[in-house]
Amino acid sequence: MTEILGALATAAGLLLPVVVFFILASITAVRRAEGGSHHPPSGLHAVAADAAPAPAPAQARELSVIEILLLALALFGVAMLALLGVSMMRYM
C-alpha cells in the first residue's frame, strides 16, 4: 500500500504543474476570445477578402472558465487513475 501511495504522490507531483499550465493557458484563451479582437485584413488577404463574400460565422457554444477548470480536473483525475492502474499492475 505504501508503494501505491508513493506512486500516486510522484504522479501528482509530475502532473499537477502540467494541469496548472493548461488551466492558465485556457483562461488566457477564453479572455482573448471574450475581448473579440478582430484585426482588419491587410495585404493580399485584403484583396481576397473583398472579392469573395464572407460565409456566415457558425454559432459555437462558448466555454466558461469554470467549465474549462472542471474539464482539466477531470482529465487530471483520469490520468491519476491510469497511473494508479499501471502502478498496481507493476507491483502485482
Q: Is 58 exposed, middle or buried (0-12, 13-18, 19+ CB in 10 A)?
A: exposed
Q: Does 35 or 27 have the greater pLDDT score?
A: 27
Q: Which domain holds residue 27?
A: 1-35+63-92
**% of the chain beyond a pLDDT of 90:** 0
Whether 79 is in a domain gets the answer yes
Helix (H) or strand (E) holding 3: helix 2-35
Whether 69 is in a domain gets the answer yes
Count of structural domains, the chain: 1
Nearest Cα to Cα of residue 19 among 74, 81, 66: 74
Q: What is the CA radius of gyration of the chain?
A: 22
Mean local confidence (pLDDT), 64-86: 83
Confirm whether pTM is higher than 0.85: no
Q: Find which of 37-41, 58-62, 86-90 is predicted with most confidence, using mean pLDDT.
A: 86-90
Whether 74 is in a domain gets the answer yes
